[in-house]
Amino acid sequence: AKLAGRNQIAFFNPAMTRELARRKEIESELRGAIQRDELALYFQPIIDLATGRIRAFEALVRWFHPEKGELTPDEFIPVAEDTGLIITLGNWITRTAARACASWPGDVHLAVNLSPAQLRAPGAALGISAALRDTGLDPARLEFEVTESLFVEECHETTVFMEHLAAIGVRFSLDDFGTGYSSLHYINKYPFSTIKVDRSFVSGPATGLRTEAIIRAVAEMGATLGMEIVAEGLETADQVAGVRAAGCTLGQGYYFSRPVPEHLALRLLEEERGL
């Protein structure tokens, strides 16, 4: 670091400068990516652990960049959030995912990730209602996944938004459960139907008796409160058996399927149901 001014140190180093340049580049290219048709939604099945059948698909966005190749959402969603592009992007995601779900059998649900900025934007609930109306999707088949980062700022709009959508039948799940600080507080305060136990509890290095006890306690609470408990990141048959024994009702992970493009999601459904 070199002295940039009185009492001020410039912390920029070459790696950070490169990172900044990359973000700038992603920002400017993301603006055109939707129009250029470079974005796609992939779908990962969420399995009913009691029956082994597909209960829902989670929509996960992908960006196939003509030069950079496939970019993961962790690379561009934060940029979209910082620049406000997430509003346009999020509307596209909800609409595209809802259209796909509307073509599936009626008991198959849809999970869509929602960024905090998306739901604080003025008219956010209107955009979602419009997507539901235009695609004809039954609101009861839609579940929004939010993380507790949504609640760091106490925000009246958040409550209004969630209650408005909950009133028309849309459900909410608390994603990445267990990675934050006060998840129990949020479960108590907001209308969540589902808890998604973070992958780190299932397949992290620290899994064992302790994490099993935690999952069991969460599942027990879920059962008492009438909530579904999804175990994320299931990669092995042992993990599936473990979370099932611990009382999780739903499971998701590479063991069942990786996220796949829409036509393969449809094929998974056809194979399962002999359609």
* Binding positions for Ca ion, rule: CB under 5 A: 113, 145, 175-176
Among 13, 17, 28, 72, binds ligand C2E (CB under 6 A): 72
Q: Total residues contacting ligand C2E (rule CB under 6 A)?
A: 21
Site for ligand C2E in 28-47 (CB under 6 A): 44
Residue 233, binding choice from ligand C2E, Ca ion, none, Cβ under 5 to 8 Å by partner class: ligand C2E
* Interaction of residue 265 with ligand C2E, rule CB under 6 A: no
Q: Quote the least distance from Cβ 43 to ligand C2E, whole Å.
A: 10
For residues 88-147, which are near ligand C2E according to CB under 6 A? Answer: 93, 113-115, 145
Q: Pick one of 83, 235, 266, 272: the residue that binds ligand C2E (CB under 6 A).
A: 235
CB 197 within 8 A of CB 232: yes
Q: Is 235 helix (H, G, I), strand (E, B) or coil?
A: coil
- The full length of the chain comes to 275
Which of 222, 219, 211 shows the shortest CA–CA distance to 244?
219
Q: How far apart are CA 164 and CA 132, in angstroms?
A: 14
| Minimal distance, residue 18 CB to ligand C2E, in Å | 22
259 contacts ligand C2E (rule: CB under 6 A): yes
SS3 11: coil
Strand partners, 57: 45, 110
Residue 72 contacts residue 103 (beta carbons within 8 Å): no
